Chains A and B, each alone.
Chain A
């Protein structure tokens, strides 16, 4: 019983097709209460569809599971009450002021004294001065902030955030993540999809999906260890041309440029070692063994998923 209570999201075998295209394919995911779960994957990998199935906006073709212990197929009313969903696009009313939007949300969720609740949210968001501005006139960063504020106003237990920081400047992005961590310390579970690696690194756990399939999940060290990638950092001259040459070598799974370095890695450790020794002996570039980064792993996962297709 206590184990179940500690799990906020528990879904098995979620599958959803649109027409002939399987957008989410047999996805199984568990998220512990209080965790910030990062949800990563390339565009069109099925992140939004998965989140929509979790909050009852889409009905899975097959698969089952619970959010906060409520069945995602049958207990959608309860899920709507206790799950806050922040859509990818701005989905508050642009022709309502900030205050009016918050009051609307408070009333719909049956919050006591909706005006006071909206005022409290305004103060928390630092939007008191702009309370009577139309929501549509806000900048991207403020829009996201307002959307998050509207999401947490009714006091949900689980937040589903779909690319909340897309198109938001770095400062606003950092503030946003500070707020998410703050919420997490208060016991909220957060599932957040993102493209940004630095954001992924701020999550407690990460799930990576491509082509609708879950390719890796766990903590960052777990994911890096699970990838079994042997990585070398290559420095020197003519890296662009060298990068093309390396990509053609057998045993090389990723070649990625990071500033003045090349990250070269492969799952076949022996092959990689032979390669490093051979090129190292040629002396044109400096080869140094290093731990793979999360980004190396994602690039490898993405390349492999692309090859599967």
Chain B
């Protein structure tokens, strides 16, 4: 430190517009956060790793319309009619007949030990009663402790049973055949003709993955500065809370965009989930959703005292988001009060947006309400964060 060199006092700020100065400070914060993020290798790796792993895991794993469910048959009737009926059920693909039960106790045991999810029970004189026009009962026992798993199969069984015997009930038995209804019901499974779960799950995953990662990143950001002791210096610098906030959020908007792109590419390549609507609309609204989550995370960060607390708040917010947003369970299946809570979650609105744009081709105009909700949410969260930000150590 030589005595000849003068202090950089000459470099002191010249008069400049307040906005331009504010922008410089925002850039300072942005650059700093970006460097720190880049240098945090594990986090950096997880930015792409987490979405990929979760997408593979859930995209391939989750199926809400399972087929080939283990089934037991309990009957001593070996007539062609009974065989045709059981064959028809098996042909629905829902039932995989793995066991022949030797009596009711045996059938119960198969269900209790989770070996069979269904038991098809025909009375011993099923065909005889049927031929006599006595309308015998076919009993389908379903393990409904998992209603999602069984409901598809039950519906298919009802449909199969009415048509199964059309070929058997001919000649003198034709009178027993069901009369067709005087009208026809046609069902159009729009946007997902094959009823594939992944078409519903994969877009939803964009929402949940972004919620989780974005919340965590910013939830840590302020508490980390407090724990590392850097906050004390930062607070004595001429930088405003709103500049700190925006500077900390902005790098993660980029991160979120990278994650979204990763998921969309994988969704198209591996799961053949297309983007029917405009990619621009999807990107714009996804960025809005990313900012909404980052603001919530940042708000947690200003409330929490340490990183552990921030983490706990993240999970407190994340779980209801998963369960009440319509990601895992149908939104309109929930009671009204739960729907109100769900409406207060950004993920709920984003799921409507992402599923509509990707699968149905909805336009921005169709989604204005949900987009508005996300924008309002962001504004509220940011305002709270700026107000909550402690400018002193008091």
Q: Are B32 and A93 within 8 A (Cβ)?
A: yes
Chain A contacts for B31, CB-based, 8 A: 103-104, 107
Contact of B39 among A90, A95, A112, A152 (CB under 8 A): A95
Q: Are A57 and B232 within 8 A (Cβ)?
A: yes
Q: Are A89 and B7 within 8 A (Cβ)?
A: no
| Alpha-carbon distance A103/B239, docked complex (angstroms) | 15
| Alpha-carbon distance A52/B233, docked complex (angstroms) | 11
CB 8 Å contact bits of B222-259 with A (1 = contact, 0 = none): 00000011111111111100000000000000000000
Chain A contacts for B391, CB-based, 8 A: 76
Chain A contacts for B145, CB-based, 8 A: none
Chain A contacts for B25, CB-based, 8 A: 107-108, 110
Q: Which residue of B lies closest to A101 (CB)?
A: B32
| Alpha-carbon distance A42/B103, docked complex (angstroms) | 88
Known: A96-B35, A108-B237. A91 touches B8 (CB 8 A): no
Chain B contacts for A123, CB-based, 8 A: 5
User: Is A59 positioned at the interface, with any CB of B under 8 Å from its CB?
Assistant: yes
| Alpha-carbon distance A110/B199, docked complex (angstroms) | 50
User: Is A207 positioned at the interface, with any CB of B under 8 Å from its CB?
Assistant: no
| Alpha-carbon distance A112/B392, docked complex (angstroms) | 28
Chain B contacts for A117, CB-based, 8 A: 8, 11
Least CB distance, A303 to chain B, in whole angstroms? 32
User: Is A22 positioned at the interface, with any CB of B under 8 Å from its CB?
Assistant: no
Contact of B1 among A59, A77, A112, A125 (CB under 8 A): A125
Contact stretch, chosen from A78-86, A215-223, A228-236, A249-257? A78-86
Q: Which residue of A lies closest to B13 (CB)?
A: A110
| Alpha-carbon distance A80/B391, docked complex (angstroms) | 12
Q: Which residue of B lies closest to A110 (CB)?
A: B13
- Interface size of B by CB at 8 A reads 42
CB 8 Å contact bits of A42-81 with B (1 = contact, 0 = none): 0000000000100111110000000000000000110011
Least CB distance, A176 to chain B, in whole angstroms? 10
User: Is A94 positioned at the interface, with any CB of B under 8 Å from its CB?
Assistant: yes
In the complex, which range does the number of interface residues on chain A fall in? 35 or more
User: Is B184 positioned at the interface, with any CB of A under 8 Å from its CB?
Assistant: no
User: Is A9 positioned at the interface, with any CB of B under 8 Å from its CB?
Assistant: no
Q: Are B7 and A100 within 8 A (Cβ)?
A: no
| Alpha-carbon distance A254/B247, docked complex (angstroms) | 56
CB 8 Å contact bits of A112-138 with B (1 = contact, 0 = none): 111001001101111000000000000
Contact of B11 among A55, A85, A155, A186 (CB under 8 A): A155
Q: Are B40 and A95 within 8 A (Cβ)?
A: yes
| Alpha-carbon distance A95/B228, docked complex (angstroms) | 11
Q: Which residue of B lies closest to A111 (CB)?
A: B11
User: Is A24 positioned at the interface, with any CB of B under 8 Å from its CB?
Assistant: no
Q: Are A58 and B1 within 8 A (Cβ)?
A: no
| Alpha-carbon distance A91/B28, docked complex (angstroms) | 17
Least CB distance, A290 to chain B, in whole angstroms? 37
Chain A contacts for B10, CB-based, 8 A: 155
User: Is B36 positioned at the interface, with any CB of A under 8 Å from its CB?
Assistant: yes
Chain B contacts for A109, CB-based, 8 A: 13, 237-238
Known: A91-B229, A152-B7. A107 touches B24 (CB 8 A): yes
Q: Which residue of B lies closest to A152 (CB)?
A: B7
Q: Which residue of B lies closest to A78 (CB)?
A: B238
CB 8 Å contact bits of B251-292 with A (1 = contact, 0 = none): 000000000000000000000000000000000000000000
Q: Are A124 and B392 within 8 A (Cβ)?
A: no
Chain A contacts for B228, CB-based, 8 A: 93-94
Least CB distance, A205 to chain B, in whole angstroms? 22
User: Is A302 positioned at the interface, with any CB of B under 8 Å from its CB?
Assistant: no
User: Is B6 positioned at the interface, with any CB of A under 8 Å from its CB?
Assistant: yes
Q: Are A58 and B392 within 8 A (Cβ)?
A: yes
User: Is B50 positioned at the interface, with any CB of A under 8 Å from its CB?
Assistant: no
User: Is A12 positioned at the interface, with any CB of B under 8 Å from its CB?
Assistant: no
User: Is A200 positioned at the interface, with any CB of B under 8 Å from its CB?
Assistant: no
Q: Which residue of B lies closest to A55 (CB)?
A: B236
Residue of A90, A91, A179 with highest tally of chain B CB at under 10 A: A91
Contacts of A124-170 to chain B: CB distance below 8 A: 124-126, 152-155
Can you name 19 A-B pairs with beta carbons within 8 Å?
Answer: A56-B392, A81-B238, A85-B233, A85-B236, A91-B233, A91-B234, A93-B228, A96-B35, A96-B36, A107-B27, A108-B239, A109-B238, A113-B11, A125-B1, A155-B7, A155-B9, A155-B11, A175-B1, A186-B7
Chain B residues with CB under 8 Å of chain A are: 1-3, 5-14, 16, 21, 24-25, 27-29, 31-32, 35-36, 39-40, 228-239, 391-394
Q: A110-B21, A155-B12 provided; 6 other pairs, C-beta below 8 A?
A: A91-B230, A93-B36, A108-B28, A108-B29, A112-B13, A183-B7
What are the 10 closest A-B residue pairs judged by CB atoms, nearest first? A107-B28, A91-B233, A155-B9, A80-B238, A85-B236, A110-B13, A108-B28, A81-B238, A155-B12, A104-B32
